[in-house]
């Protein structure tokens, strides 16, 4: 089944899209770019499966609207200026806690995206 990822948040959307395409390769994934509000609504309406967003804090511009609309039990800040989750922690958030929306600081893009892709796109 095709996986649909929507890029919301605030910073570096095109770079995130490029990195995702590279990381995902030829696996069946649809990636769209939207503003934070529309992206969160796309998850709510079932148009997308996963939300990815970045900003300077990993929680504000990146994830605030998603958290507001989906609830914090669906969202997680993977990287903030004070904490970057380890691969094990990310895996746990996705596999056991049912998180579907992910925020991170733009400076951690290259560490975070490969981990997210590894566990979201199987």
Partner 1 sequence: MNVTTLINYLLIAAVGGVGSILANRGIAVFNDGLRPIMPEYLEGKITRKELAATSFAVSFGLIIGFGIPVSLGSTILVAHSILLSADVIGTWTPDTKWGTALAGIIGAIYGAGLLFGLSSIVALFKMLPFNFLPALSLMSGPILLAFCAFPALAVASQHSPKKGFITFGLTFLAYLLATKFGTFKVNGYTITLNAIGMSLLVAMICMIYFAAQIKGDGNSNASLVNVFSKRVGRIKGNWIWLSIMGGLITSASSMLILAVDILPQQLLVKNQVMEAAIATFARAIGFIPLVFSTAIVTGVYGMAGTTIIFAIGLLLKGQPIVAFLAGFVWMWIEVQLLAATAKGLDKFPGLRDMGEHIRTSLQDTIAIALLIGSAIACNKMAANIGFFWVIGFWLLNKKSKKPLVDMAVGPIATIAFGILLNILRVIMIF
Rg, Å, the chain Cα set? 13
Any contact of residue 67 with partner 1 (CB under 8 A)?
Answer: yes
Of these, 6, 41, 100, 117, which contacts partner 1 (CB under 8 A)?
41
* DSSP secondary structure code for residue 84 in this structure: B
Any contact of residue 58 with partner 1 (CB under 8 A)?
Answer: yes
Nearest residue (CB) to partner 1, 114 versus 121: 114
Of these, 7, 20, 52, 77, which contacts partner 1 (CB under 8 A)?
77
Of these, 17, 60, 91, 119, which contacts partner 1 (CB under 8 A)?
60
> In a 3-state reduction of DSSP, which class is residue 13?
helix
Please name the residues in contact with 45: beta carbons below 8 A apart, sequence gap of 6 or more.
none
């Amino acid at each position: 089944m095709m996986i649909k990822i929507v890029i919301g948040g605030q910073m570096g959307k095109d770079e995130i899209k490029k990195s995702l395409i590279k990381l995902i390769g030829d696996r069946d994934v649809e990636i769209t770019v939207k503003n934070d509000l529309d992206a969160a609504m796309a998850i709510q309406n079932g148009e997308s499966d996963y939300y990815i967003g970045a900003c300077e804090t990993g929680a504000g511009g990146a994830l605030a609207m998603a958290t507001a609309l989906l609830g914090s039990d669906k969202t997680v800040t993977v990287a903030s200026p004070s904490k970057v989750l380890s691969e094990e922690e990310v895996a746990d958030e996705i596999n056991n806690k049912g998180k579907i929306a992910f925020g991170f600081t733009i400076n951690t893009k290259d560490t975070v995206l490969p981990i997210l892709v590894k566990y979201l796109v199987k």
